[in-house]
Chains A and B, each alone.
Chain A
Amino acid sequence: MIYLDNAATTLRKPRQVIDAVAEAMGALGNSARGTHGGSLAASRVVYGAREKAAALFGCPRADHVVFTCNSTEALNIAIHGGIPAGSHVISTDLEHNSVLRPLYRLEREGRASLSFVPADRRGRIDYADFERLLRPETRAVVCTHASNLTGNLVDIARVGAFARAHGLLFIVDASQTAGVFPIAMEEMGIDVLCFTGHKGLMGPQGTGGLCIREGVELRPWKVGGSGVQTYLETQPEEYPTRLEAGTLNGHGIAGLSAALDFIRETGPDAIRRKETGLMRRFYAGVSATEGVTVYGDFSGDRAAVVALNIRDYDSGQVSDALSEDYGIATRPGAHCAPRMHRALGTVEQGAVRFSFGWFNTEDEVDAAAAAVRELAL
């Protein structure tokens, strides 16, 4: 199988990640639950992973790295726990349902009003719209770092400067960029950075988290066992315990920790150069083909994603043909990005998304481009 669905999850993982999970399953107790060898081994692994994530994302405090099971959970914690009732929130058309549905729920419950920076037919936003949408009651900006459909990047440093200038909480969804594109929370003005472990970071599914700037208060939506302050009737206030009720996914976090080592050793710059090089090679191989429509803006830096359609064919049938006849794995349909598809005019047809990862090769990319050209004949 030629796997080109890395924006959904990176199927191929570094060997050291797989080994770390297997070793952890034979060695780790429950983190922060006592001081016997097994528990301490888990606590050390989890703490190490916090330090590595903090270093990668420029989070000043390792104890402000909170682990969750994915970025959706992290975004729910940040959105529901950080946006005060009665707020106006600015987001964008580029967002995934992991941002949209929590925001829509706040709106439906009468707890927030929403405005969205619109995207044009190439999936681009006008940054001046953030200022235009600002209201006296605006309290937060929630924004992806890159569209999971087009691969277009958002200049989060620019959005962060806007948020900081107006005293707004700035929540960033880094699902498509963590481990590949530079993220520096302090310099970019990010208050809460939400990430997943199983995409660009190449860690296990079931891992993710949020990095919280010092001074940002998030109310937990789940409370429970913490391993400390047992006689307190409320959840301990200290991060990360405040947001980590219940047993952590220690085995998965051990894999994530190994993945963070792999990212550091390999270098995000090298990873980005390779992945975006493959993306551009594929784009060059298909974009001029008659009957092929490619979506997104390819004029500057972008994530390693190419979304396209062939003539008026159902994207599901194209993706099925790629899988059945060519052994190429892609993602058709709507990609949990309803506003982005509306902006592109692809609600009915969907789109076929090719997304490239560290373990892909130029030969695989060339085979995929040839398959697209053949299907377009």
Chain B
Amino acid sequence: MRERTLKLVVTFPSTTAAMAMEKHCKAGGAPGRLIPVPREITAGCGMAWMARREDRPALERVVGDHAVPVQGWYELLL
């Protein structure tokens, strides 16, 4: 397995919100990609947005500008 590093993980209340996040991040050039929600957050499946820790301000701007519903912000070893 890949070496784990500390990552920023954003979770959403729905798949629709996750897809909105991807659309707006891609359109605005914000970094990251969708991954399965890590088990440290929930065992209940779903998608999360993963990026570098230092990308948080850019992602917060996307979330704020486009009113993307977010469930939580996490920093995890992935």
Contact = CB atoms under 8 A, between A and B. Distances in A.
B36 interface: yes
Given A316-B38, A336-B45, A350-B45, 6 more contacts: A313-B1, A317-B38, A318-B1, A325-B2, A334-B43, A334-B44
Nearest to A314: B39
B35 interface: yes
Contacts of A350: 39, 43, 45
Contacts of A314: 38-40
Given A333-B45, A334-B45, A321 B39 contact: no
Interface residues of B, number: 12
A316 B39 contact: yes
11 contacts: A315-B39, A317-B1, A317-B36, A317-B38, A320-B36, A332-B36, A333-B43, A333-B44, A334-B44, A347-B43, A350-B45
Interface in B12-42: 35-40
Interface residues of A, number: 20
A313 B3 CA distance: 12
Contacts of B39: 314-316, 348-350
Interface of B: 1-2, 35-40, 43-45, 78
Contacts of A333: 36-37, 43-45
A377 B2 CA distance: 11
A321 B1 contact: yes
A321 B2 contact: yes
A319 interface: yes
A317 B78 contact: yes
Contacts of A318: 1
A375 interface: yes
A318 B2 CA distance: 10
A310 B2 CA distance: 13
Nearest to A311: B1
Contacts of B44: 333-334
B35 A320 contact: yes
A375 B2 CA distance: 9
A347 B44 CA distance: 9
Nearest to A377: B1
Given A333-B45, A334-B45, A348-B43, A316 B1 contact: no
B37 to A, nearest CB: 7
Contacts of A320: 35-36
Contacts of B38: 314, 316-317
Residue among B36, B40, B44, B78 with the most chain A CB within 10 A?
B36
Interface string A324-338: 010000001110100
A224 B45 CA distance: 36
Contacts of B35: 316, 320
Minimum-distance CB pairs A-B, first 3 = A316-B36, A333-B45, A314-B39
Interface in A333-377: 333-334, 336, 347-350, 375
Nearest to A325: B2
Nearest to B34: A320
A200 B34 CA distance: 28
Nearest to A349: B39
